[in-house]
Structure 1
């Protein structure tokens, strides 16, 4: 069987996967269209395996990393009677209060990639919380396809309230100094933008390829923003010009970066959309932003 490489795959395949991952097409349609690119030595199973997440071999900071204390916590959802769960991580033996970071997952629940990002944040001297929006439905089911289907059934406005409740939980945590920012990816990028709209005390927001707020909402933002976009992500980038206009008109502190020749999801090192150069540079900028706005 041919060993696939990123350069073997046409951009149309990445665009097709993006449509599927964002519920633009169902799985049957996705597989039917994907089969058109399975030619010669490239079989459909090989192509599907290549573009699907590989969590087993991609974790940067292991769940049992001895430098960290990581635990599953719960807090009340604003929707009565429901509980939210999340991964809380902090450096072991931390004796002083430190700034907090909310880490927001994509549109498939708290999967291993986002748990990994949560631990990466904690290693930088923050207390980090990654809530799971699927908590009221039993939590991330162990695979992204089912997670995506589950999350589709939840109201986006209710999930936003759940992440805001997570912010309040972290802000009042005994190990947090009260300064809390957010970083989110895809759906989490939209949540990050909307938390900036809703929370005037938010210390900062870093949306990765996140859908932008409506202009009336965008004008309410008080938090500084670091906006990370993929150059090939036409779907999300279409909303940038109007968002940028509102940010400038209202003197909202922001920096925006467009990473050349990379796809939506370039930070996610578990799929071939990952671009190491762009991911590393964007993460370097993210940490510098957090250090500036939460530690200085």
Structure 2
């Protein structure tokens, strides 16, 4: 069952979101789940429920602060208007909230899709406490983050036919990071952008989505406990 949460941002401000936990009362690994450009909607809640069933405590910061949409033009406006420093501050706050939550084992990872994938990469450069990072088809704007700061292992999922989050740029980043001794595992699927979005039958690729998900769950359990 989802519950609303309030937590402090890294800078000491106030932030809100939602949380879901596995059944039972024991401690579990924790994951910050970052929305797509649509906002905190049903699709992201479905993913949160799937993560909870796999044994993870999940927090979803509401980066659009109550707004969401099903219209692509409006989603683009919301994404382009996003205050990235503030969003990363809120994501860091959500990670700290989970690390100290009584249901958490203290190990926190992050997973994000589309816009959330880009923010997951960016968060990895700003939150050294993260233990695992799983971006789906998203990259921050070129030159906007310093990847040399990344400490956590990364598992990235990209699509071969995606002009928004290009696989060749992800492959270049992987070579750079691995060359520095950082850990970035990359999988490129024969699909287009948002191939894991089950509600969008125009782009959903079941085989790729299932394989990416199984890899994601195994990776998170490996690094978060």
Query: How does the TM-score come out when normalised to structure 1?
Result: 0.69
- Stretch of structure 1 that moved more, 193-202 or 210-219: 210-219
- 2:195 matched to 1:263? no
1:220-242, Cα deviation, whole Å (9 max, x unpaired): 21101101001101332242243
Match of 2:164 in 1: 235
Query: How does the TM-score come out when normalised to structure 2?
Result: 0.90
Q: What runs of 5+ residues in structure 2 fail to find an aligned partner?
A: none
1:215 to 1:251, Cα distance in 2 relative to 1, 3 A: farther
Match of 1:99 in 2: 29
Q: Number of paired residues?
A: 221
Match of 1:36 in 2: none
Give the distance between the partners of 2:102 and 2:71, measured in 1 at CA: 33
Match of 1:109 in 2: 39
1:123-162, Cα deviation, whole Å (9 max, x unpaired): 1111001111011xxx034544545433432312221211
Match of 1:123 in 2: 53
1:150 to 72, 78, 83: 78
Q: What runs of 5+ residues in structure 1 fail to find an aligned partner?
A: 1-68
Give the distance between the partners of 1:116 and 1:171, measured in 2 at CA: 23
Match of 1:224 in 2: 153
Match of 1:197 in 2: 125
Give the distance between the partners of 1:79 and 1:108, measured in 2 at CA: 26
Once the two structures are TM-superposed, the CA of residue 215 in structure 1 deviates from its matched residue by 8.8
Q: Which has the larger radius of gyration?
A: 1
If each structure's strand is expressed as a fraction of its own residues, which one has the higher value?
Answer: 2
Give the distance between the partners of 1:141 and 1:129, measured in 2 at CA: 17
1:140 to 47, 64, 67: 67
Higher relative contact order (CA closer than 8 Å, sequence separation 6+): 2
> Given that residues 111 and 144 in structure 1 are in contact (C-alpha distance below 8 angstroms), is that contact kept between their aligned partners in structure 2?
no
Match of 2:7 in 1: 75
Match of 1:160 in 2: 88
Give the distance between the partners of 1:252 and 1:202, measured in 2 at CA: 14
